Amino acid sequence: MTNNLNSLEALTEKKVSRRDVLKTAGIGGVGAILGASGIGGVLALKERKAASPELNQDVVPFYGKHQSGITTKAQNHVYFVSLDITTTKKDDLADLFKEWTKAAALMTEGKAIGELSSNEFLPPKDTGEAAGLSPSNLTITFGVGPSLFVKDNQDRFGLKNKQPKELVDLPAFPLDALEAEWTGGDLCIQACADDLQVAFHAVRNLIRIARGKATLKWAQTGFQRTKQADSKNETPRNLFGFKDGTVNPNVDSDKQLNQHVWVQSGDGPEWLVNGSYLVVRRIQMFIEVWDRTNLREQENTFGRYRDSGAPLGQKGEFDQLDFKHKKENGEDYIPTNSHVRLSHGDGSQQILRRAYSYADGMDLKTGSFDAGLLFLCFQRKPSKQFIPIQTRLAKMDKLNEYTSHRGSAIFACLPGAKQGGFIGETLFN
């Protein structure tokens, strides 16, 4: 019995699914274990877990004022999908979001979305590949694109008057090389987790639930160095070998998040308050060309040192950018066409970058790697943040010699949901 209790406690603390707990307990007799500690004991343990974050180390709460996966510290992997809606009924959409909410809440706790049925002539509700895996800090973030509101001039779901002014297709930027198969979408799901199988399982089950209502349009995985490989938790490096993510709004400061990330009351529309706009760009990086470029040129391209990540002319990664700092010969340390100088601008436009690298095998046309950056950024007003920044970059960023924007989309990430409510409630009700 003691063994059973110990294993129950240990398993619960390892955040395993209810089915696993019962399975293990079953070795010594489910009846016995429930009889002794009682279901109440199991529930009490669960409540204790919910109340004490240290016991919940790899669960990110799904319900809340904002959706998770935006200010959440970036997990090791992303599985991002864009979807086309196939139903013509608004009620179907609301039902879909209700079902998605329930399933997402379960999966972020590491639970299956349904128990194995005793009817072996039915397919199992949950696809099963995450059984026994920890929740892995899974977050699932839902967004809606401009075409949810109006497509081919049609007010598809009677939602036209709810379309935010900021939620319109991005303008075409110079040098854009967008491909239809990586562009746009009516809905998006961003699943991030420290385990790719957990992230994939989440998306797969959500897509399965959407059958008859929405289908996949495009999908992209992304990775960062894992937490396991980087115990010092330094800024991750992109595929050009540079630290990427040094300058970002402080996610612990409500003031900064309200200023730069969350849609505020009065911004319009009210249904999106506490949500955020997501801009996604699939940016191919010509790593073979980069690898033939000398170090000085590489550092001048970003305006930072490769090794330390410090701004050119300075020592520490987190030193303030100093554009007035000149070398002895009178040249600027940080070139005027460098990526950080142009993206920083006057410092007033800030976006929350949450990018992941991707490596998708080979580009069959060129025989080179198809690799790059799945650039994901969140903001309060794209017209005042991403668009002016990208307008400057597209014109003269030195980085453009080594990159090409292949995919693009914009979504409004919905506000968070309360327990008992659902994601999208403010839009569909």
The one among 42, 138, 203, 373 contacting ligand HEM by CB under 6 A = 373
Distance CA 271, CA 27 (A): 50
Q: Kindly tell me which of 271 and 375 has the beta carbon lying closer to ligand HEM.
A: 375
- What is the per-residue binding string for ligand HEM in 288-307, x denoting contact by CB under 6 A? --------------x-x---
- Tell me: does residue 358 bind ligand HEM (CB under 6 A): no
Single-letter residue type at 116: L
Q: Among 8, 106, 189, 393, which residue interacts with ligand HEM (rule: CB under 6 A)?
A: 393
Residue in 100, 149, 262, 386 binding ligand HEM, rule: CB under 6 A: 386
Spatial separation of the C-alpha atoms in residues 352 and 170, rounded to whole Å: 18
Q: Which is nearer to ligand HEM, 313 or 372 (CB)?
A: 372
Bridge-partner residues for 243, per DSSP? 237
Contact criterion met (CB below 8 Å) for 32 and 4: yes
Nearest residue (CB) to ligand HEM, 102 versus 392: 392
286 belongs to the binding site for ligand HEM (CB under 6 A): no
**Beta carbons within 8 Å of 222's beta carbon, 6+ residues apart:** 77, 78, 80, 355, 356, 357, 358, 374
Question: With CB under 6 A as the contact rule, which of the stretches 73-81, 178-186, 223-231, 277-285 interacts with ligand HEM?
Answer: 277-285
**Residue 343 is a binding residue for ligand HEM (CB under 6 A):** yes
* Interface residue with ligand HEM, options 156, 281, 282, 380 (CB under 6 A): 281
390 near ligand HEM, judged by CB under 6 A: yes
Q: Peptide bond preceding 269: is omega within 30 degrees of 0, i.e. cis?
A: yes
| Rounded least distance, CB 291 to ligand HEM, Å | 14
Which of 277, 305, 356, 375 touches ligand HEM (CB under 6 A)? 375
Cα–Cα distances (Å) from 184 to 97, 147, 156, 290, 371, in that order, read 20, 8, 17, 29, 20
Give the shortest CB-340-to-ligand HEM separation in angstroms.
5
Among the listed residues 182, 242, 286, 378, the single contact to ligand HEM using CB under 6 A: 242
In whole angstroms, how close is the CB of 61 to ligand HEM at the nearest point?
27
Tell me: does residue 339 bind ligand HEM (CB under 6 A). yes
246 binds ligand HEM (CB under 6 A): yes
Residue type, 346: D
**Selection from 48, 105, 190, 191 nearest residue 419 by Cα:** 105
Q: What are phi and psi of 201, to 5 degrees?
A: -55, -40
Q: Which part of the chain contacts ligand HEM (CB under 6 A), choosing from 46-54, 75-83, 184-192, 239-247?
A: 239-247
One of 70, 321, 371, 374 touching ligand HEM (CB under 6 A): 321
Q: Is 25 in the site for ligand HEM (CB under 6 A)?
A: no
Region from 48-56, 177-185, 210-218, 243-251 binding ligand HEM, contact rule CB under 6 A: 243-251
**Interface with ligand HEM includes 389 (CB under 6 A)?**
yes
Tell which residue, 243, 300, 279, has the closest CA to residue 377: 279
Q: Nearer to ligand HEM by C-beta: 127 or 248? A: 248
Of 129 and 234, which has the nearer Cβ to ligand HEM?
Answer: 234
Beta-carbon neighbour count of residue 209 at 10 Å? 18
Q: How far apart are CA 205 and CA 305, in angstroms?
A: 43
| Token digits of residue 84 | 């086309």
Q: With binding defined as CB under 6 A, does residue 383 bind ligand HEM?
A: no
Task: Write out the DSSP string of 85-136.
Answer: E----HHHHHHHHHHHHHHHHHHHTT--SSPPPS-TTS--SS--TTTT---T
Q: How many residues does the chain have?
A: 429
Question: According to CB under 6 A, which residues from 1 to 20 bind ligand HEM?
Answer: none
For 346-375, letters b (16+ CB in 10 Å) and e give eeebbbbbbbbbbeeeeeeeeeebbbbbbb
Count the Cβ atoms, other than its own, within 10 Å of residue 338. 26
**Which residues in this chain contact ligand HEM in the complex, by CB under 6 A?**
238, 240, 242-247, 281, 283, 285, 302, 304, 321, 339-340, 343-344, 351, 372-373, 375, 386, 389-390, 393, 403
